[in-house]
Amino acid sequence: MIELTNVTKKFGNKIAVNNFSLHIEKGSLTMFIGPSGCGKTTTLRMINRLTPFDKGNIIVNDTPINDVNPVELRRNIGYVIQEIGLFPHLTVFENVAIVPRLLKWEQKKIERRIEEILELVTLNQSFAQKYPLQLSGGEKQRVGLARALAAEPEILLMDEPFGAIDPINRLKLQDSFLEIQEEIKKTIVFVTHDINEAIKLGDKIAIINEGNLIQYDNVSKILSDPANEFVENLLGQDRNIKALSLKKAKDYVLKDGFITVLDTESRESVEKKMKEKNIKIAFALDENNHLKSRFVLEKATETKKQKFIYNPAPWIIERQNNINEALSKMLEAGEKQLPVVNRKKEFVGIIKLSNIFEEVNKKTNIS
């Protein structure tokens, strides 16, 4: 989909990008990581012809980009940057509609598309009429993504899009971004300076230093086989723990060991069902499959009678959480299993601590 061959870019005497060759497959999510000033932004900007290159060749969709009209080229390439660049005097709707308007889409088609795209980035439809000043940092980033995707480009270039977001909201944005990518399968190049973000999001990682491409590989390969000391240092001491984080909650979702009930059902009736079926956990869902509460039937012991517990706000794990995050939540909740939800907050099943330990077990042999 994107092919860079021996690409070099100088600013004056300074080599910003040095003889770069890289092949990016269609539908893949490639992360660029490296120290500030190593040439990440320059490389992105060369791909959509915002910055010309001095030597080499860049091919997008089988055509050298210098043979394509830059405006035409950029129509097929969404671009998301940290500062987002939403127009403050335009509503979210108008901001997202910019490219479809340039493409002269009919008003009805624009309205339909914006409804669909807000839903995709999990923004409530009421956001359409808000102004950028009324949005949080995370909401602005979602709008930035919606705008880049509005005219359905095949390629998305993202330059540290979550860099200015606080850590907690950044994790949430990452989770929903992965859910979105699972659905849209775009070819994405994503710049970050956060190694955890690179590992969590990427199919492949390109590690760059001082304009040179140091290693370009699948994430698991980079973790198991760093090319040199620079890569090792970038990955940090805990790279085996990081390797575990490649496994996601969605890989461990179980569909049994619990029952689901409607949240309108009486507690007595739920308790009765659980006892009849000899099931210890029940999840109450509303008509949209959203998790509302949880019931637990505790084991009776010699000294204690069986207890029936109602939990109105159970801990939740997102499908895209990696197993480190899932483990951390289980420890914080003090529970051996937690419910899992998708991007639309629909209940999809449970994940168990014992399954996570099995994964760790597989990687060790002498006991």
Ligand X SMILES: Nc1ncnc2c1ncn2[C@@H]1O[C@H](COP(=O)(O)OP(=O)(O)O)[C@@H](O)[C@H]1O
Q: Site residues (CB under 6 A) for ligand X?
A: 11, 14, 16, 36-42
Closest distance to Mg ion from the beta carbon of 165 (Å): 16
Question: Which one of Mg ion, ligand X, none is in contact with 37 (Cβ closer than 5 to 8 A by kind)?
Answer: ligand X
Closest distance to ligand X from the beta carbon of 17 (Å): 7
Q: Are 319 and 342 in contact (CB under 8 A)?
A: yes
The Cα–Cα gap between 109 and 189 comes to 28
| Per-residue contact string for residues 20-59; x = within reach of Mg ion by CB under 5 A | ---------------------x------------------
Closest distance to Mg ion from the beta carbon of 210 (Å): 14
Beta bridge partners of 64: 59
Question: Which one of Mg ion, ligand X, none is in contact with 95 (Cβ closer than 5 to 8 A by kind)?
Answer: none
Q: SS3 of 364, please?
A: coil
Q: Which is nearer to Mg ion, 41 or 245 (CB)?
A: 41
Closest distance to ligand X from the beta carbon of 204 (Å): 18
Closest distance to ligand X from the beta carbon of 35 (Å): 7
Question: Which one of Mg ion, ligand X, none is in contact with 36 (Cβ closer than 5 to 8 A by kind)?
Answer: ligand X
The CA–CA distances, whole Å, from 160 to 36, 146, 348 equal 11, 16, 31
Q: Which is nearer to Mg ion, 41 or 342 (CB)?
A: 41
The Cα–Cα gap between 207 and 316 comes to 34
Q: Which is nearer to ligand X, 41 or 181 (CB)?
A: 41
Q: Which is nearer to ligand X, 38 or 270 (CB)?
A: 38
Closest distance to ligand X from the beta carbon of 229 (Å): 20
Instruction: Give Dmax (Cα) for the chain.
Output: 81
Q: Which is nearer to Mg ion, 121 or 191 (CB)?
A: 191
Q: SS3 of 29, please?
A: strand
Q: Which is nearer to ligand X, 41 or 245 (CB)?
A: 41
Q: Which is nearer to Mg ion, 32 or 295 (CB)?
A: 32
The Cα–Cα gap between 107 and 21 comes to 42
The Cα–Cα gap between 224 and 320 comes to 22
Using the rule CB under 5 A, is 181 a contact of Mg ion? no
**Token digits for 238?**
């805990």
The Cα–Cα gap between 354 and 103 comes to 53
Q: Residue 134: which of 175, 91, 196, 168 has the closest Cα?
A: 91
Q: Which residues contact 302 (CB under 8 A, 6 or more apart)?
A: none
Question: Which one of ligand X, Mg ion, none is in contact with 321 (Cβ closer than 5 to 8 A by kind)?
Answer: none
Q: Residue 148: which of 70, 188, 96 has the closest Cα?
A: 96
**Token digits for 244?**
């575990």
Closest distance to ligand X from the beta carbon of 163 (Å): 11
Q: Which is nearer to ligand X, 96 or 191 (CB)?
A: 191
Q: Which residues contact 43 (CB under 8 A, 6 or more apart)?
A: 4, 7, 17, 20, 32, 208
Q: Are 249 and 318 in contact (CB under 8 A)?
A: yes
Q: Which is nearer to ligand X, 213 or 244 (CB)?
A: 213
Closest distance to ligand X from the beta carbon of 333 (Å): 39
Shortest-Cβ-distance residue relative to Mg ion: 41
The Cα–Cα gap between 180 and 303 comes to 50
Tally of residues, the chain: 367
Task: For helices 353-362 and 323-333, give the axis angle rounded to 10 degrees.
Answer: 140
Give the residue carrying structure tokens 């999840």. 283
Closest distance to ligand X from the beta carbon of 14 (Å): 6
Q: Which residues bind Mg ion (CB under 5 A)?
A: 41
